Amino acid sequence: MIKFLANNSHVIEKALIIILVTLFSAFFIFAIFNQAPHSNELQVLTLTQLDKTGVTNIVTAVLLNYRAYDTFIEFAVFLVVAIAVLPYIIDTPVLTFTLQEESQVLLIAKIFIPLTIIMAGYLLWIGSTKPGGAFQASALLAGCLVLLSLANVQVINFTQLRYRLLMSSGLIAFIAVILLLYLQSHSFLTFPVELAGASILVIEFFATFAIALILFLCFESINKGHA
Amino acid sequence: MKRVAMILKVEVNLINNFITIFSIPTLMILPMVIAIICFVAGNTRLSRLISVISSITLVVICALQAGYVLQQAAPIELIIGGWQPPLGIRLSINEFSAIMLLMTSTIGLAITFYSTQYFDDDEKEIRFWPLWWFLITALNGVFISSDIFNTYIMLELLGLSAVSLIAIQGTQQALQASFQYLLVGLFGSLMYLLGVAIIYRTYGVLDNQLVANLVESNTSMQLALALITLGMMMKCALFPLHFWLPSAHSNASAPVSAMLSALVVKAAFFILFTFWFKILAPVVTFTAVTIMGIFGAMAVIYGSYRAFTSPRLKQLIAYSTVAQIGYLFLAFPLMFTTPDLARTAVIYFIVAHGCAKAAMFLAAGVIQKAMGHDQLSQLQGIASQLPISIFVFAVTSASLIGLPPSGGFIAKWLLLNNAVEAQQWWWVLTLFIGGLLASAYLFRVLNLAFTTPTQENSLTVLAISESKLLGAVGLSIITIIIGLNAMWLTNLITGSY
């Protein structure tokens, strides 16, 4: 009996896991459907207050005004990731800026990068009215950097002061806005209606670069790890 | 005379104003600004200087807040951005969180001071400071948050900065331990998030108070509580899910171990406690709390046993944390019958254990540095070489065992008293066995420290300054003071409910 168990331990383990996961899922589905969802009063509330937020897109309003505090901490999370990953970049030597032979990737990069940068700028700008904003724009910018990196063009030396500054710029801009608004309104993270749109744009502008750089840093840490 | 009184009044008003309007955001923004400066400047000297200064500032702010909250017996609240709760986020500091914040800042100051002299490798230290300050930001954030989703984001910040802090040690074991910790932390956070999602789906609100007002006992809330409990049990390493803690806490550098054991696991416990007895209180049943109590009791016995058999000093202390976390869960079944007493006991225990464990890890760090290792078998006779470290170790041991007049004694006495009052005497047995086992494993170390080494393995101790232990000595004195002034503290805590 014991021998049988020992020989088939993998199968038994898998079977147990499958049984447990199935039971859990069944209970989960039962519990979820047992209870009616809420009546979404919050969305109505979000819409009625929208004209006081300085933006007209509901998602941007939630992210950078109603629950701006969450986004603020989220920027800090990004920076922590950057600090954690950074040492693994420093250890590897940085190639100098060399345009080697015309590879296909470089060709693609030359065509797409200018377009993508314009696209990123557009996404950032329309964030206040339509779906878009800092996160989407920074993903595009990071894509440009990744394309350059694949074409063997090294443009960023992460150890330099200015890149450290740029990576923290999203958070720095956010803190600066918070402190300036504090002087004006004596309350934490309150955007006055007339300044809200501009403040949000400033934060998003810097956050775009910061997040793009951090995303690229994460890519590079894996990329260099393999090389 | 009148004028003096008037000036005093104005000043009191100013301080009150500061506390109610400015102090809560300062708790978040100050450490974050320091973190950014440390990161961008990348200069160890500057980092040390501003770190010590801002740690002291934080202690002052937290002391003012705690004084205000305990005196007024009303929480400090802040509605962010002027958006009332279902729409916006509310922050609040109640008695429990005020004491946790004060403890965070005090232990933080002791460890910050220690860290200014701990690292002998500049590169490690440059990485350490920004992450350290983000960790403090996250801890403050967890304690002041009054919104279940915001708590999740704080947990994320807390988990990631803690993982990175373990990883800067750079050794193979540390990297492995931090990776395991990362996976455990992610699992824990995701379970928590799933629980939050279920609560939001059912009631459509995220504010602690609003959820608490709406919640009733039904299957989906039971599921939410189970998921959140699973996630937080993982993060605070309660017995069956403690497997990651010993390697993570024993392989990190001493200041990081101290912070992880003293505060980071307590943050997860704080969240769990808030959910069980405040937010989802109607869902909690007697069976559930008893199960948690049994897990706690098992943790006490298992953790103590493993501590007794560990070959390394830091591993011993890490297993002792597993055991001490168990005591906190013994209060769960007691919360059901005598909530006020049990809450006091829990807060008291957290403070006593936090201070003692932080100081103990700091002392162990000095011992490890001086010896070049922390194998218990070769620690004979270190008492003569490292008197302050052993002094700190001995005093904090007394507190962990629960010998009078330490804070640990009072904490255990409160639990014991409480268990008798709640007519659940069987928990007392665990307290006794745990105390005996704790004395067994801690005296094992002290016994070795005071024996004269035999000729063949005479001590080779590096000349190392013990002056960095100033903060640790301070913490061990605090454990004694809270033991001697027990009535004052317990009255303060219970009086404010």
**pLDDT tens per residue, range B120-131:** 877 888 889 999
Shortest CA distance to B104 belongs to which of B68, B65, B75?
A: B65
Q: Which residue range is the domain that position B368 belongs to? A: 299-497
Domain count, chain B: 1
Shortest CA distance to B223 belongs to which of B200, B198, B205, B206?
A: B198
The pLDDT mean for chain A works out to 83
Percent of chain B with pLDDT over 90: 50
Compute the nearest-CA separation of A212 from chain B (Å). Answer: 18
Q: Crossing angle for the helix pair B95-118 and B339-371, nearest 10 degrees?
A: 0
Amino acid at B267: A
Note whether A171 and A208 are within 8 A (CB).
Answer: no
Partner-chain contact A175 B29, CB within 8 Å: yes
Q: How far apart are the first and last CA of chain A?
A: 49
Q: Does position B460 have pLDDT exceeding 70, yes or no?
A: no
What distances in angstroms separate CA B130 from CA B93, B138, B165, B359, B366, one per listed residue?
26, 12, 10, 22, 23
Amino acid at B472: A
- pLDDT for res A101: 62
Shortest CA distance to B61 belongs to which of B107, B32, B18, B96?
A: B18
ipTM: 0.90
Q: Could you tell me if residue A3 is inside a domain?
A: no
Q: Could you tell me if residue A76 is inside a domain?
A: yes
Partner-chain contact A80 B157, CB within 8 Å: yes
Partner-chain contact A80 B127, CB within 8 Å: no
Q: Which of residues 205-264 of B touch A (CB under 8 A)?
A: 205, 218-220, 222-223
Report residue A196 as tokens. Answer: 């809200």
- pLDDT for res A94: 52
Over range B42-61, report the average pLDDT: 92
- pLDDT for res A61: 85
Report residue B468 as tokens. Answer: 């960095």
Note whether A210 and A166 are within 8 A (CB).
Answer: yes
The continuous run of DSSP H or E covering B111 comes out as helix B95-118
| Sole residue written with tokens 């590879």 | A103
Domain count, chain A: 1
Nearest to A35 among B82, B205, B220 (CB): B220
DSSP chain A: -HHHHHHTHHHHHHHHHHHHHHHHHHHHHHHHHHSPPP--HHHHHHHHTGGGSS-S-HHHHIIIIITHHHHHHHHHHHHHHHHHHHHHHHTSPPPP----S--HHHHHHHHHHHHHHHHHHHHHHHTTTSS--HHHHHHHHHHHHHHHHHTT-----TTSHHHHHHHHHHHHHHHHHHHHHHHHHSSTTPPPHHHHHHHHHHHHHHHHHHHHHHHHHHHHHHHHHH-
DSSP B42-104: --HHHHHHHHHHHHHHHHHHHHHHHHHHHHHTS-EEEEGGG--TTTS-EEEE-HHHHHHHHHH
Report residue B250 as tokens. Answer: 């024993």
Amino acid at B441: Y
**Local confidence band at A86 (pLDDT 50, 70, 90 cut-offs):** confident
Alpha helices in B204-312 (DSSP H): 208-214, 219-235, 245-251, 254-259, 265-274, 286-309
- What value does the CA radius of gyration of chain B take, rounded to a whole number of Å? 22
Shortest CA distance to B324 belongs to which of B343, B350, B293?
A: B350
Report residue A32 as tokens. Answer: 């979820």
Compute the nearest-CA separation of A184 from chain B (Å). Answer: 13
**Local confidence band at A227 (pLDDT 50, 70, 90 cut-offs):** very low
- pLDDT for res A206: 93
Q: Is residue A1 packed enough to be buried (19+ CB in 10 Å), middle (13-18) or exposed (0-12)? A: exposed
Q: Does position A188 have pLDDT exceeding 50, yes or no?
A: yes
- Across A23-37, B74-88, B226-240, which has the greatest mean pLDDT? B226-240
B137 touches chain A (CB under 8 A): yes
Beta carbons within 8 Å of B441's beta carbon, 6+ residues apart: B304, B307, B308, B316, B320
Residues of A in contact with B24 (CB under 8 A): 188
Q: Crossing angle for the helix pair B95-118 and B122-144, nearest 10 degrees?
A: 180
> pLDDT per residue over B482-496, tens digit each?
888 777 777 767 665
B26 touches chain A (CB under 8 A): no
Residue B348 burial (CB count, 10 A): 25
Shortest CA distance to B255 belongs to which of B110, B43, B59, B464?
A: B110
Q: Could you tell me if residue B403 is inside a domain?
A: yes
Report residue A218 as tokens. Answer: 């994460």
* Closest alpha carbon within chain A to B20: A187
Residues of B in contact with A182 (CB under 8 A): 25
Q: B31: helix, coil or strand? A: helix
Q: Answer positive or negative: Cα dihedral of A132, A135, A139, A142.
A: positive
Partner-chain contact A79 B134, CB within 8 Å: yes
- The secondary structure of residue B406, as a DSSP letter, is S
Report residue B58 as tokens. Answer: 């934080």
Nearest to B153 among A31, A42, A74 (CB): A74
B80 touches chain A (CB under 8 A): yes
More confident residue, B166 or A187: B166
Q: Does position B416 have pLDDT exceeding 60, yes or no?
A: yes
Residues of B in contact with A165 (CB under 8 A): 40
* Closest alpha carbon within chain A to B201: A37
Over range B180-201, report the average pLDDT: 93
- pLDDT for res B457: 54
B190 touches chain A (CB under 8 A): no
Nearest to B32 among A38, A76, A86 (CB): A76
More confident residue, B455 or B308: B308
Over range B384-412, report the average pLDDT: 88
| Sole residue written with tokens 């303060």 | B492
Q: Could you tell me if residue B494 is inside a domain?
A: yes
Q: B375: helix, coil or strand? A: strand
Partner-chain contact A188 B81, CB within 8 Å: yes
Write phi, then psi, for B312 (nearest 5 degrees): -115, 150
Q: Does position B342 have pLDDT exceeding 60, yes or no?
A: yes
Beta carbons within 8 Å of B361's beta carbon, 6+ residues apart: B254, B257, B258, B261, B262, B314, B317
Shortest CA distance to B95 belongs to which of B68, B58, B70?
A: B70
Partner-chain contact A87 B168, CB within 8 Å: yes
Which of A77, A80, A165, A175 to substitute to test the interface with B, most B CBs within 10 Å? A80
Shortest CA distance to A151 belongs to which of A114, A92, A101?
A: A101
Nearest to B167 among A68, A84, A171 (CB): A84
Which of A28, A48, A83 to substitute to test the interface with B, most B CBs within 10 Å? A83
Q: Which of A34-48, A159-173, B220-234 has the lowest mean pLDDT?
A: A34-48
> pLDDT per residue over B277-335, tens digit each?
999 999 999 999 999 999 999 999 999 999 999 999 999 999 999 999 999 999 999 88
CA distance B438 to B401: 5
Report residue B232 as tokens. Answer: 């937080």
Q: Which residue range is the domain that position A120 belongs to? A: 54-226
CA distance B485 to B480: 9
Compute the nearest-CA separation of B175 from chain A (Å). Answer: 12
Q: Could you tell me if residue A6 is inside a domain?
A: no
| Sole residue written with tokens 């789906």 | B201
Amino acid at B69: V
Over range A49-57, report the average pLDDT: 82
Partner-chain contact A87 B123, CB within 8 Å: yes
Partner-chain contact A168 B36, CB within 8 Å: yes
Q: Does position B172 have pLDDT exceeding 70, yes or no?
A: yes
